[in-house]
Each structure stands twice: as C-alpha cells, then as structure tokens.
A and B are shown apart, each in its own frame.
Chain A
Amino acid sequence: MSKKLLLQHIDVPGINTYEVYRKQGGYKAVEKALKEMTADQILEEVKTSGLRGRGGAGFPTGMKWSFLAKPEGVARYLVCNADESEPGTFKDRYLMEKIPHLLIEGMIASSFALGANTAYIYIRGEYFYVHRILENAIKEAYANGWLGKNILGTGYDLDLYMQIGAGAYICGEETALLESLEGKRGNPRIKPPFPAVAGLWGRPTVVNNVETIAAVVPIINEGGANYANIGVGKSTGTKLISASGHINKPGVYEIELGLPVEEFIYSDQYCGGIRNGKELKAVVAGGSSVPILPKELILKTAAGEPRLMSYESLGDGGFQTGTMLGSGGFIVMDEDTSIVKNLYTFSRFYHHESCGQCSPCREGTGWMEKILKKIISGNGTLSDVDLLWDIQSKIEGKTICPLGEAAAWPVAAAIRHFRKEFEEYVTNPQNIVDVKHYYRVNNLAAV
C-alpha cells in the first residue's frame, strides 16, 4: 500500500467539517509552525523536503519561497492558485471539495513562513459548489481562532479570502491570475519583474498551487527529511494524479512518486486497466499541454526501462521520446481513439483560451485549429500536416507566457508519434467522411 500524505483521511465521514478534521489531527501543523518554529525553520524544512510545484512547472517550492523580496514596511502576499483549468486535471477540486481544511491549514502555515498577513485563494469561477465549501471552511477556521488577529496568542495575524474567476484558463498562469485578482483582464504580465518582487498590486507575492500548499502540512508534521524519503530521486513525496479517459476506474489518486506507469494504469488499486477489454493506444500524462506518448513509450522509456511516474522518468528522452509529469492530468486513450481528433479538441481549447496579447499565440492557435478542422473533415492535404508542424514551431518559445508552448507541444507530439494517422486522414478522407463514427466507439446511443 502506497503511503498517503494528503488523502489519508479522505474516507473519514465528515472530514470536510472542522470538527472531524481537527479530530484527525488537523491544524497540528499550524500549532507546530506558529508555536515551535521560526519562519526560516519552516523554509528550511520545505527546502529539505524537495517539494516541487504541483501546478505543472515543478519548480522547487523552497527555492521559490526564498526568492520572495522582503522590503521593510511593504505587505507581501501568498496567493493560492486554484484555477485548475488544464484539461485532464481535477485534483485540486477533489482536494478542496473533500478536505478543504487541509488547504486552509497549509495556507496558514505557508503564510506564516512567508511573513504574509493577507492571503487569497483564487479559484476558477465554474467551481461554484466548491466555493461554498471553501467559504464555509474559511468561516469555521475564523470561528475557531485559526485565522484573524493574534492566532493562537502568538501575535501572528492572517486574513484569508477566496476570490473567484469567471472562465479563463489563462488565469492559471500566475501573473494572469494576479491581474485577474486585481480585477483586470487575465493578460499575463511580461516578466521580469517576477511576482516574488512585484506581484499582487506590485507587492512581493508567492503563487502556489493548491496541492503544493497542502503538501506543506505533512512536511511540517513529519519533517522535510521524512517527506524527502518518499518518492524517487528529485521527485520527492506524493502526487495527486487525475486519471480520466478510457479506464475502468477514473478518479483522483495519491501516488508515491516513482510508481511504475504500467502499475498505475493496470493495477486495480489505481486505474484498473482499459475499459471494455480494449488495448491501450496512447496517454497524455500530465495535462493537455504535455506531449502525448504512444503505448510503447509511455510504458517504457526509449532505452527500455520501465517508465515511472516521476518528473525525471516521464521526462526521459526529452520531447523526442518522453513527456512531462506536468499537473498530473493523466488522460488514457484506447485503441479506437482518433489521435487527430483528440488533438483537435486540444487545439480548439488553446485557441479558445489564448488571451490575445501576443501575436504568435493569438493568430497561431486559431490557425492550427482551422487546419485540424480541415483535416478531420476530410479536406486536408499532406502539406497541411507540414504546415501544422511549421506553425507550432513558430509559436513555441516566441510568446509572452507558456500558453504558446502549451498549444504547440501537443501538436508537435501528435505529429511526431502519429504521423501515419494524419496521413491516413488526408489521403483516405472518404473513410472518415462517409463513416462519421469511424474513429469513435464511444457511441453513447448504443450503450
């Protein structure tokens, strides 16, 4: 049985309420942090733990915290990124819905470590029912003295607020999130300056993902070194994986980093294998933006080693034969899936979500979607496939924020690994046009 640090009490009835959470040892990390530790000691523990950002980029959290500027007399902020909009990712919602106090506890301990007296949780607008759960949990925390003035009599003050978005994936990008929090369009800022120096309202700010902040709780409780003992190499601790697609048991799983991908897909403890007895075709392992890998490459690296669920192992082989752990949005596709059409849904997504500030992303994402639409409707040509490749290469690395890459990578990877399928679409369009469901078995009408 794999160790659980975030979800170990998830099945305790009423764990979403303050009383039950507290009874299960909740808020001990806050007690320990505020009463027994200094801010620097917490920072050291987080550094020792090797915790890396769970929002997608995997940046070491301790290092991020140590960059925070601390000018005299200027307020600084901790902002939690609960925008969760990367297709395939739904773990933050799960955590906030099931065990909201874990996030609040993490927010308090982290804010204390950063010297922030005000903190915000920016949550995507569509999660309406989660807003209520969170709002309620925040109220409970205030009522029980974990938030507000002079927490636990230590003299430390913290106000925690929830702020809601209104439908924009780009607001997950941390500087766009800050703009949105300031009541503006979600346009990513041009960096530098980085939020650690000039963030919310121009003041030093740390932005962390929900899961990252929640992980601070076990790190404080059990110590950074113990946390670092879990996992493999530089991928320490546990990770929430959102599993979706053609599997028997979709859902959110907490895994120890380093778990073999094969075990994750086929074990009954996790995804439980491919549904309807089908064969696995491909996996998008870390949310829509990471490169898709065909069965052979997701189960084993190019060198024939078992592929593990870790930052390094998934990244093994670079983009030629590898991918990324990303946000842990694990989308599984069976043998009947059209990779081209799936890519179309991704490209349509990025086109829909481009903020429109910089020209390569604004114009390029729409262009790619149009070409893909042309291809799946049977009107594509071989040169369209090459054009698609060229356009993605002209977006990648030339944009203000990484949405450009996020839009380019899936296109590049799909062509790289499934070029034959693209060619079939353009050379044999009859098959596809005539038989609408050619590539789709998910005909609900037949179920």
Chain B
Amino acid sequence: MPKVTIDDIEIEVPDGTTILQAARMIGGEVVPPAMCYHSKLKTSGGYCRTCIVKVEKGSEKDPRPMPKPVPSCRTTVMDGMVVRNKTAPDIVEARAGIVEFLLINHPLDCPVCDQAGECDLQDLAYEHGKSHSRYDFQRRTFEKIDIGEHIKLHMTRCILCYRCVKTAEQITDGRVHGVIYRGDAAEISTYIQNVIDNDFSGNVIDVCPVGALTDRTFRFKSRVWFTKPVDAHRDCPKCSGQVRLWEKGGEVLRVTARKDKYGEVESFICNECRYDKKNASDWVIEGPSKVDRHSVIGANHYENSVLSATDDRQQTGLPHGKKVELGEGALNPNNIY
C-alpha cells in the first residue's frame, strides 16, 4: 500500500487511491475543494481545476516534482509521493484564480437563488476566493427554462462541471441533455425543447453543485435555511429509498438524496421517492440529518462576499469578511440586503 504525504501529514492508502481521496481520508484542512468530481460518477473530475495541488515529489522511485499543478481528483497516489495543498502559497494563489474564473460569469444572485445555503460555489468563494471581482464586462446570461415538469435549468449559474451529463449518461436510461456549443458559449441544454424524464432523472438536481438545476416542485416555497432536514427511508422497489426530507412545520417540502460532507450524493434516488412522496406518512423518519457543510449552514454565518452582490454592476467596494451572526433558522441573505 502506497504512502503519501499531504501538507506534511503521512497516510497509507490502498492502491489506486487518488490524491483527493487520500486527503479526504486525512480530513480537515488538507482536503482540496472539489466542484466537478463526484466519486460515484465514472470519469468525473478534472474540469473545474479547483482541486489542484502541487506534487513536490512524484514517488520514491521517481522523486522528480511534477512540472505543473495537478488535479488531485484525477491523480493517483504513488508510494512516497509528497503533496502540498494549503501549505503551498502558489497553490492557494492559483486556486483563488480558479475561483475568480468560475465567478466572472456567474450572476451572483445568491439572495434569490434556491441553492443559497447549500451551494458549493458559495462555500468555495467564501473559503478560497478573493473579496472582489476584477471583471468589468457584461456577464454571460441565459434564459431560465423548464426541462420537464420537475426541473428548472438556470444556465447562467452553471459552472460546466459535467456532473449532470454524466449522471444522465450513467444513472438514467436515456440521456437527452448534454453540453452544446463550445468555449465560454458552451451550455447545458437539450438543444431542442425536450423533456428530461425517466425514473432517475431527478438526480441531476442533487449532483449540481450550484443552483443551475433545481427542483421546480420546491422552488420559491422556502429558503433552505427555513427547512429542517431529516433522514428517512421507505421500501422502494426502484431505489434504496434512503432520502433526506426537508420539512417545515411538519410538511415535507422537498425530498432529496442524502449528501455527504463533500456534497456528494450517497445513493441516487428515483423520481417516485423524490416527487411523489411528499407526506410524512410515506416515510419512516430516522431523525435529524447531520448536515456537515463547512460554511453556510453549518457554521451559521453568511458571508458578505462577492457572491452576495445582487447587482451585476456592483463589482467593487464590497466589504469583505463581515460575518453576520444570526439566530438559528434566520440565516437569510435577503435580510442582509
């Protein structure tokens, strides 16, 4: 079993482990952020570049450093490898650059976004980004569209992580959406008016790290932080039936898959569980979910950062680092503005 050292912490891991997985085994600060990788989706990762790390020593056999930063999600550990993440200032700087790239065309509409409070991009910007944007051109925008009766596509927010495409390809039995056009004109689309609909199509919502694909049956009903997540299950002939219910005052507002602390879906669920079982009586309640998100919900603060700008023209001069402490359940950026 190869041994790898990440930010001066050594760990022994099974053959074939990636640097990212090894870092997750160590846990804490050494774990690079990952926006496009999803361990349950084959060939995922490598696109967003947020997880890049520095390989100072390739392996015991070939100790040469790697010439460029590598995506930790797609790089396999070698015995004797020495990796730097947080402890390499150039990686920290490079990552801030990646975050900036991901944000220059992002609408920064967190206050009105369904995903706010459970958005990986929001967390990323808060933890790894800089306080203001240097981009002073018009942002790319797209019309919101409904793809089917359950899913809303808000392409403007998409970071092209390819997760939903891989989910549709690997989890469902007929992919009708994909990435069309190229470069910064690339978009997630069905191209012609087409409906994403089959038993497992709803999972594209859960794998989306931002608010580009959202559950139409939940939209505008409630902000995430007003709802209370509980884990529940039912005997489902199609899927594991292990879900997370988001409820408010005893009412089930939304059903999602359970996600781990890295935002990864633990097990994919079917559309029946997701959309058709909205009574508490449909479910065996296990208890409150342990939502272990690193920033927004867990730490109970909302960062007044570049991500919370409501206006595209409002680029600079946003105070950074102002933490707003709010009472439980009142974590609402709408209140800040």
A362 touches B186 (CB 8 A): yes
Report chain A residues within 8 Å CB of B100: 394
Known: A359-B48, A360-B49. A398 touches B68 (CB 8 A): yes
B47 touches A357 (CB 8 A): yes
Query: Contacting A367 at CB < 8 Å: which of B45, B71, B104, B186?
Result: B104
B101 touches A168 (CB 8 A): no
Q: Among residues 66 to 102 in chain B, which have CB atoms less than 8 Å away from a CB atom of chain A?
A: 67-69, 71, 74, 94, 97-98, 100-102
Q: Among residues 38 to 81 in chain B, which have CB atoms less than 8 Å away from a CB atom of chain A?
A: 45-50, 52, 67-69, 71, 74
A358 touches B49 (CB 8 A): yes
A394 touches B94 (CB 8 A): yes
Report chain B residues within 8 Å CB of A360: 49, 97-98, 101
Q: CA A367 – CA B48 in complex, angstroms?
A: 17
Report chain A residues within 8 Å CB of B183: 351-356, 362, 365-366
Query: Contacting A356 at CB < 8 Å: which of B67, B71, B102, B185?
Result: B185
A362 touches B184 (CB 8 A): yes
Q: In this assembly, does A4 line the interface, its C-beta being within 8 Å of a C-beta of chain B?
A: no
Q: In this assembly, does B137 line the interface, its C-beta being within 8 Å of a C-beta of chain A?
A: yes
Q: CA A356 – CA B97 in complex, angstroms?
A: 17
Q: Would you give 28 A-B contacts (Cβ < 8 Å), ordered by A?
A: A190-B71, A355-B182, A355-B183, A356-B179, A356-B184, A357-B47, A358-B46, A358-B48, A359-B49, A360-B97, A360-B101, A363-B104, A363-B184, A365-B184, A366-B183, A366-B184, A367-B135, A370-B137, A394-B97, A394-B101, A397-B67, A398-B49, A398-B52, A398-B68, A398-B69, A398-B97, A400-B46, A400-B49
Q: CA A351 – CA B184 in complex, angstroms?
A: 8
Query: Contacting A359 at CB < 8 Å: which of B67, B74, B102, B137?
Result: B102
A363 touches B105 (CB 8 A): yes
Min CB distance, A180 to chain B, in Å? 12
Q: Among residues 344 to 402 in chain A, which have CB atoms less than 8 Å away from a CB atom of chain B?
A: 351-360, 362-367, 370, 387, 394, 397-400
B69 touches A397 (CB 8 A): yes
Q: In this assembly, does A185 line the interface, its C-beta being within 8 Å of a C-beta of chain B?
A: yes
Known: A357-B160, A387-B134. A190 touches B74 (CB 8 A): yes
Residues of B at the A interface (CB closer than 8 Å) are: 45-50, 52, 67-69, 71, 74, 94, 97-98, 100-102, 104-105, 134-135, 137, 159-160, 162, 179, 181-186
Q: How large is the interface on A (under 10, 10 to 19, 20 to 34, 35 or more residues)?
A: 20 to 34
Closest 9 CB pairs of A and B: A394-B97, A356-B186, A363-B101, A190-B46, A354-B183, A397-B68, A356-B183, A366-B184, A359-B101
Q: Which residue of B lies closest to A371 (CB)?
A: B137
Report chain A residues within 8 Å CB of B49: 358-360, 398-400
Q: CA A400 – CA B71 in complex, angstroms?
A: 9
Min CB distance, B17 to chain A, in Å? 15
A354 touches B184 (CB 8 A): yes
Chain A CB count within 10 A is highest, among B71, B74, B101, B181, for B101
Q: Which residue of A lies closest to B35 (CB)?
A: A359
Report chain A residues within 8 Å CB of B101: 359-360, 362-364, 367, 394
Contact with B along A409-439 (1 / 0, CB 8 A): 0000000000000000000000000000000
With A354-B182, A363-B105 known, 4 other A-B pairs at CB within 8 A are A353-B183, A355-B183, A362-B183, A367-B135
Min CB distance, B175 to chain A, in Å? 14
> What is the predominant secondary structure among interface residues of chain B facing chain A?
loop
Q: Which residue of A lies closest to B101 (CB)?
A: A363
Q: Which residue of A lies closest to B182 (CB)?
A: A356
Min CB distance, B212 to chain A, in Å? 14
Report chain B residues within 8 Å CB of A400: 46-47, 49
Min CB distance, B121 to chain A, in Å? 11
Q: Which residue of B lies closest to A387 (CB)?
A: B134
Q: Which residue of B lies closest to A186 (CB)?
A: B182
Report chain A residues within 8 Å CB of B47: 357-359, 400
Min CB distance, B254 to chain A, in Å? 29
Q: CA A344 – CA B127 in complex, angstroms?
A: 34
Report chain B residues within 8 Å CB of A352: 183
Min CB distance, A291 to chain B, in Å? 18
Q: CA A291 – CA B201 in complex, angstroms?
A: 48
Q: CA A190 – CA B69 in complex, angstroms?
A: 14
Q: CA A168 – CA B135 in complex, angstroms?
A: 27
Min CB distance, A357 to chain B, in Å? 5
Min CB distance, B81 to chain A, in Å? 15
Q: Which residue of A lies closest to B71 (CB)?
A: A190
Report chain A residues within 8 Å CB of B162: 357
Report chain B residues within 8 Å CB of A354: 182-184
Report chain A residues within 8 Å CB of B186: 356, 362
Report chain B residues within 8 Å CB of A397: 67-69
Chain B CB count within 10 A is highest, among A352, A363, A367, A399, for A363
Report chain B residues within 8 Å CB of A366: 183-184
Q: CA A343 – CA B181 in complex, angstroms?
A: 25
Q: CA A254 – CA B94 in complex, angstroms?
A: 42
Q: CA A368 – CA B74 in complex, angstroms?
A: 28
Report chain A residues within 8 Å CB of B179: 185, 356
Q: Among residues 208 to 242 in chain A, which have CB atoms less than 8 Å away from a CB atom of chain B?
A: none
Q: CA A398 – CA B50 in complex, angstroms?
A: 10
Min CB distance, B35 to chain A, in Å? 9
Min CB distance, A195 to chain B, in Å? 16
Q: CA A359 – CA B67 in complex, angstroms?
A: 20
Min CB distance, A199 to chain B, in Å? 16
Q: CA A190 – CA B160 in complex, angstroms?
A: 16
Report chain A residues within 8 Å CB of B102: 359, 363
